[in-house]
Amino acid sequence: MTATDLVRSYVERAERSPRDALASVDWTAAPSLVKRYPRELAVGVPPSLSDLLRRGYGLTRYQWTTRVPGPVIQPGLSEGRPFRPVPAGGGLASSELYLVGAVPGLAVGAYHYDAAAHELTPVRGGATPGDLGVPEAALCLVITGVVERLAFKYGEFAYRLLCLNAGVLAGQLVSVRSDTEPCWNFDGARARVCLGLSAGAESVMAVVRVAGVEPGERPPAMDGTPLSPTARTSPSPVRELARLVTACEATGGHQHPAPHPPALSFTEATRLPDADPRLIDGVEARRTADAGFSDEPLTLADVAALMTVTAGPLLSGVFLLARRVGGLSSGVYCYNAEEHRLLRLGDPRPGLSRALGDGGAALSIYPAGDYQAGFAVAGDRWYTALNIAAGAAAQRCCLASAARGLGCRIQCSYDVETVVGALGMPTGLRPLCQVLVGRESGRLSYTQPLDERHVR
């Protein structure tokens, strides 16, 4: 199976956000940041899943702003919008979350998680993970991407962000609850039909299995048609995006290539101390570092904790640009996961910090992948899978940073070719996102916490 020309050409032209387009965004065209189904059908979230859903993708903070519309919020809160516990491109929360299968205490079926009310709404009775192409699971969390939430601002670049956002959410879910794991072998087209999603408008991006759930009685087949939301999602005004979304969710291509560590010439190797970070400790503390970074250096123990969780499946490697790390020379490195070592590749050129727009971070981290190597095995879906893997790795890095009291920020505004050249990446490897880490110089915050009293 090979990739279509559509996806191959997308890789070449959509590796970074179009800055000129961002200057002329029509914010009046911004869609709602939540999807809702008829409220009269909603049911309470089972207690055994409440913490996973709220800390995974609930509404946990509120920011004072009138720029982007949000859901109905309890009177008494100032004008603004809610935030999820995970970062997202532009803060636009492009993902939606569904539960499919044996939901404890409820009938087997598909449910939509209404984060604005912390409730579940039945979408299709009798649906099971088998209808997603995952017959061995009892319960799955399905992460979808709503194209229009990003396309009005980012145009074609929206699909890359859609994938990264889905990966970030997957990384959050498996960090909040230890008996969850990502599932790479599912049927995106069947899953979309099961949930009644509009082709080209909302696509199934990722699936996370939940263990510790009784399978319950499996019905012979799905019964009834999917419930419609109160407002339908619309295809992107960027025509190519609808075609791209459909191509990347096509059936088949479930196998993925086994990445091999790149062959690199290095001048020295630094063994990192052992680390076993508790990502759950960073869930409540994680915030995007908006105020910039101080000149205080990181420690080797900090770097060890970050590298332990950032290396992950499907990625070809993790590259670093270290500026201020105690016990480590400033320079370019690649992480060797097998030996838990940093391999020093060279010196950063002067002015590189400004070229990358990294805000003076002590450490810049780049999960890297090989698009072309995977297309022959997995087809168009390889683009989606690789960027989801990068998003999950970036979120794990953010949680590990927060757990150690560090500031962290994910961004994609760097120049790809500059990074490839500066880091000496082997032919074929591309930086999939940029994760900035350092000690914060301060904290800008116009937010207040949300709990059950503030949503409805």
For residue 203, give the CATH number of its domain. Answer: 3.40.109.10
Residue 135 reports pLDDT greater than 50: yes
Q: Cα–Cα distances in Å, from 160 out to 157, 225, 341, 432, 443?
A: 6, 31, 30, 9, 29
Please give the residue range of the domain that contains residue 373: 268-438
pLDDT band for position 14 (cuts 50, 70, 90): confident
Residue 306 and residue 384 in one domain: yes
Residue 190 and residue 247 in one domain: yes
Q: Is residue 452 in some structural domain?
A: no
E strand spans, 102-228: 109-114, 119-125, 139-146, 180-183, 202-210
* pLDDT, position 262: 79
Q: Is residue 102 in some structural domain?
A: yes
Residue 70 reports pLDDT greater than 60: no
Residue 325 and residue 429 in one domain: yes
Q: Is residue 299 in some structural domain?
A: yes
Amino acid at 236: S
Select from 60, 85, 45 the least CA-distant residue to 279: 85
Q: Is residue 153 in some structural domain?
A: yes
Q: Is residue 454 in some structural domain?
A: no
Residue 301 and residue 430 in one domain: yes
Q: What is the helix (H) or strand (E) element at residue 150, kind and residue range?
A: helix 148-154
* pLDDT, position 442: 67
| Residues 120, 99 contacting (CB under 8 angstroms) | yes
How is residue 81 written in tokens? 């919008």
Residue 136 and residue 198 in one domain: yes
Per the structure, the count of domains in the chain is: 2
User: What is the per-residue DSSP string for 239-283?
Assistant: HHHHHHHHHHT-S---------PPP---SEEEEPPP----GGGGT
Residue 228 and residue 108 in one domain: yes
Residue 186 and residue 313 in one domain: no
Least confident of 90-99, 237-246, 336-345: 237-246
Least confident of 134-138, 175-179, 257-261: 257-261
- Mean per-residue pLDDT, 285-306: 91
How is residue 170 written in tokens? 């997957």
Q: Is residue 450 in some structural domain?
A: no
Residue 153 and residue 291 in one domain: no
Q: How far apart are CA 146 and CA 149, in angstroms?
A: 6
pLDDT digits (tens, 9 = 90+) for 185-217: 899 999 999 999 998 899 999 999 998 776 554
Q: Tell me if residue 163 falls in helix, strand or coil.
A: helix
pLDDT digits (tens, 9 = 90+) for 417-452: 888 988 889 989 999 999 999 998 866 555 556 655
Residue 231 and residue 277 in one domain: no
Residue 281 and residue 230 in one domain: no
Residue 324 reports pLDDT greater than 90: yes
How many other C-beta atoms can be found within 10 angstroms of the C-beta atom of residue 267?
A: 11
Burial (0-12, 13-18, 19+ Cβ within 10 Å), 427: exposed
Amino acid at 12: E
Q: Is residue 448 in some structural domain?
A: no
With a CB cutoff of 8 Å and minimum separation 6, the contacts of 299 are 325, 326, 327
- Please report where in the chains the tokens 């890297």 appear, as a residue: 368
Residue 215 and residue 294 in one domain: no
pLDDT digits (tens, 9 = 90+) for 33-69: 888 899 899 999 999 999 999 999 998 877 665 444 4
Q: Is residue 256 in some structural domain?
A: no
Residue 225 reports pLDDT greater than 70: no
pLDDT digits (tens, 9 = 90+) for 329-369: 999 999 999 999 999 998 877 667 666 777 789 999 999 99
With a CB cutoff of 8 Å and minimum separation 6, the contacts of 421 are none
* pLDDT, position 39: 87
Produce one character per residue of 349-374: b if its CB has 16 or more CB atoms within 10 Å, e if not: eeebeeebebbebbbbbbbbbbbebb
Report strand pairing: 139-146 vs 95-101. antiparallel
Q: How far apart are CA 250 and CA 366, in angstroms?
A: 29
* pLDDT, position 436: 95
Cut 0.95: pTM above it:
no
* pLDDT, position 166: 97
Residue 77 and residue 109 in one domain: yes
pLDDT band for position 454 (cuts 50, 70, 90): very low
pLDDT band for position 72 (cuts 50, 70, 90): very low
Least confident of 239-253, 310-324, 382-396: 239-253
